Structure 1
Amino acid sequence: MDTKEYIESGILEAYVLGALPAEGEAHVLAAIERNPELELEIENIENTLFQFAVNNEVTPPPHMEAKIWKKITDGQEINNVKEGLPSSDKESINFSVHPVGWWTANLRYAALWIGLGGSILLNAALFFRSGVQRNELSGVVRQIDSIRAANISLVLTVNNYIKSKKMMADNDMQTIVMHTVVKGHPMAATLYVNKYKTEGYVMIDALPVPPDGMQYQLWAMQAGKPVDMGTIDIDIANTSTMQKIEKSAISGEAFAISLEKKGGSIVPTMENIYVMGKS
C-alpha cells in the first residue's frame, strides 16, 4: 500500500498505543526506515494523544495523593531523635519524611498522571477507534466505487444489447456468430457487417480477459488466406463491449479471432485462434 493508505489504515495508531504484536511493530519500524514521512505521522499521533488527554483530564480523587506519599515513605515516620538534643526538643522533632525540590515536583507530576491513567487510556482508545472508523469509511468508499463501476458496466452491457438488437433487425446488416474452436472452453463473439456501407462491428460475448502484453485480433478468410481486420481494444475485451471495425472493405468466407502479442500480428497464431464463424 502507498503512504496515504498506510497512514489511513490505523496501524500507526495501534503502534503508538502498543496494541501491535512484536511482528507488527517490526513491520512498522521497517516501514518508518523506508519512509520518513511515517515517523512524522507517528509524532503527530503522539502529540494529538497527549493534547487530547490533557484537554480531557480528570481530577484525581483526594485520597490518591495521600496513597502515593504513603507508598513513597513506606508509611514510616522519624520520631524522637535523641542524639545531641535536649529532652525539651524531643517532642518537637516528630516529622514525616517528604521529598523536596526536584523529587517533590516530579513525584507530584507522577501522581497527577497516575490519576489521569484511566482517562488517558480511555481517550487513547477513543482516538484509536476513530482510526478504525476511518478504515470503515474507506471500506464504504471502496464499496461505492465498486458499485459505481458495476453500474457503468451494466449500462455498457444494456447499450450493447440495444445496439445489437437494432443491428439484427437491420436487413442490410449480416450477423456472424463466431463460436469456440477450443474444446471444453465455451467462448463466443459476434460480428455485424453492413454489406452496402462497408462498415462492421465486433462484439465480445464471452472471451477471457487477455493476459498482460496480449491482445485479440480479428481475421477474415479471403480466398483461403487470413486477412488482418484489426486488433480489438483491450478495454473492449475486458468489458465485453462493442468496437467498430476500422477497415474499408469487410468481407470473407469466414471470420476468426486469435490472441496475439499487443499490437497485432501479420499472420494469426493458429494455436491461439479462439473463435470462428462462417459468413
Structure 2
Amino acid sequence: METKQYIDSGILELYVYGLLNETENLEVSQMAKINEAVDNEIISIEKAIVNLSTSFSPFLSVENFAKIKSKLDIKHSPKVIEMQPKSSKLQYLGWAAALALLLGVGYQYNNQIKFENDIVNLEKEKSKLNEVVVSTENKNKQTKKALYVIRDSKNTVITLGGQAVSPKSFAKVYWNKETQVVYVDASGLPKPPKGMVYQVWSLKLKPALTPTSIGLLENFEAENDKFFAVSNTSDAEGFGITLEPAGGSKSPTMEKLYSLGTV
C-alpha cells in the first residue's frame, strides 16, 4: 500500500489512541521506523490530541496519560478493515457497457424508423399500383367498348371533315339507327382551350338547317382514347362539332365549327 493510502486509512489515529492489537501496533511501529512520513504523521496526531485535551480538560502529565493508556482494553477494539480503492478497470467496464447499451438503443431506434418509413413507402407504392391497375382496367374497358362499336355492322359511320377554323381537324360518328345510340371518335380534334368544350350537334338539313345538341365532349384530356358516348338521336341527317364555352350553348357558334359531315 502506498504511504498516502496507508496514512489515509485511519490506522495511525487508532495507533495513537491505543486501539490496535499487539500485531497491528508492531506493524505501525515498524512502518514509522522505515517511513519518515508515517513517523511525522504519528507525531502530528499526538500533538493534536494533546492540544485538544489541554484546551478542554485540566492538564494531564505524561505519566497520567501513560497510565490511562495502559488501562485501555485494546483486546476488544474493532479490527480495522482496509478500504481498497475502486478498481479503475471496473469503472471503464461500466462506462463501456453503458456506451454499448446507448449505441444498441440508438441502432434499434434507427432501424425502427427505417422500418416505419419502408412501410409508408410500400403503402404509397401499393396505392400507386392500385391506381395504375384501375386506370389500366378502365382503359381496357374503353378500348373494348370502342372496338365493339367500331366492329358493329349495324352502326353507320359518318366521317366529319375539318372546317375553315381548323381544316386539319376530323372526327367520326358511329350511329346505330335501330337503337339510336351515338358514339363520337374525337381523336382528330385538337385540345380545346381552357374554359372551352366541344359540343356535338345532330342536324336536320330539310326544310331548313336545324341543329340539336346531343352532348358535350367533357374531360377531353382525361379521355385517352377520345371516344365519347353522347345522347341518342333518331332522325339525324348530319352531325357537326363546334367549340363552345364551358357548359355548352343553346345554338352552335358557326365560326367555331370544327368538323361537319352528312349521313
Give the TM-score, by structure 1 length: 0.50
CA 1:183–1:133: 2 relative to 1, 3 Å: farther
* Residues 215, 264 of structure 1: 8 Å contact kept: yes
Alignment-mate amino acid for residue 182 of structure 2: Y
Alignment-mate amino acid for residue 240 of structure 2: A
How many angstroms does 1:187 deviate by? 4.5
1:165 to 122, 141, 151: 151
* Structure possessing the higher radius of gyration over alpha carbons: 2
* Residues 187, 205 of structure 1: 8 Å contact kept: no
Measure the CA separation in 1 of the matches of 2:259 and 2:124: 42
Aligned to 1:139: 125
How many angstroms does 1:232 deviate by? 2.5
Specify the SS of the correspondent of 2:250.
coil
How many angstroms does 1:211 deviate by? 6.2
How many angstroms does 1:220 deviate by? 4.1
Q: Deviations over 1:7-41 (max 9, x none)?
A: xxxxxxxxxxxxxxxxxxxxxxxxxxxxxxxxxxx
How many angstroms does 1:185 deviate by? 8.8
CA 1:114–1:151: 2 relative to 1, 3 Å: same
Measure the CA separation in 2 of the matches of 1:275 and 1:264: 16
Measure the CA separation in 1 of the matches of 2:102 and 2:149: 69
Measure the CA separation in 1 of the matches of 2:167 and 2:136: 25
How many angstroms does 1:265 deviate by? 0.3
Q: Deviations over 1:103-125 (max 9, x none)?
A: xxxxx8x9865332222232122
Measure the CA separation in 1 of the matches of 2:134 and 2:179: 37
Measure the CA separation in 2 of the matches of 1:151 and 1:95: 79
Measure the CA separation in 1 of the matches of 2:129 and 2:192: 26
* Residues 182, 232 of structure 2: 8 Å contact kept: no
Aligned to 1:263: 247
Measure the CA separation in 1 of the matches of 2:169 and 2:132: 26
Aligned residue pairs: how many?
187
Measure the CA separation in 2 of the matches of 1:180 and 1:153: 27
Aligned to 1:130: 115
Measure the CA separation in 2 of the matches of 1:185 and 1:150: 33
1:199 to 160, 180, 183: 180
How many angstroms does 1:149 deviate by? 1.2
Aligned to 2:215: 231
Measure the CA separation in 1 of the matches of 2:164 and 2:108: 63
The yes-or-no answer on 1:251 pairing with 2:237 is yes
Q: Deviations over 1:58-104 (max 9, x none)?
A: xxxxxxxxxxxxxxxxxxxxx55979x77356895774699xxxxxx
Alignment-mate amino acid for residue 173 of structure 2: L
Alignment-mate amino acid for residue 174 of structure 2: Y
How many angstroms does 1:145 deviate by? 2.1
Alignment-mate amino acid for residue 117 of structure 2: V
Specify the SS of the correspondent of 1:231.
strand
Alignment-mate amino acid for residue 150 of structure 1: T
CA 1:87–1:148: 2 relative to 1, 3 Å: same
CA 1:231–1:120: 2 relative to 1, 3 Å: same
Q: Structure 2: where are the runs of 5+ without partners? A: 15-37, 39-79, 89-93
CA 1:210–1:112: 2 relative to 1, 3 Å: farther
Aligned Cα RMSD in Å? 4.3
* Residues 182, 233 of structure 2: 8 Å contact kept: no
Give the TM-score, by structure 2 length: 0.53
Aligned to 1:116: 101
* Residues 204, 237 of structure 1: 8 Å contact kept: no
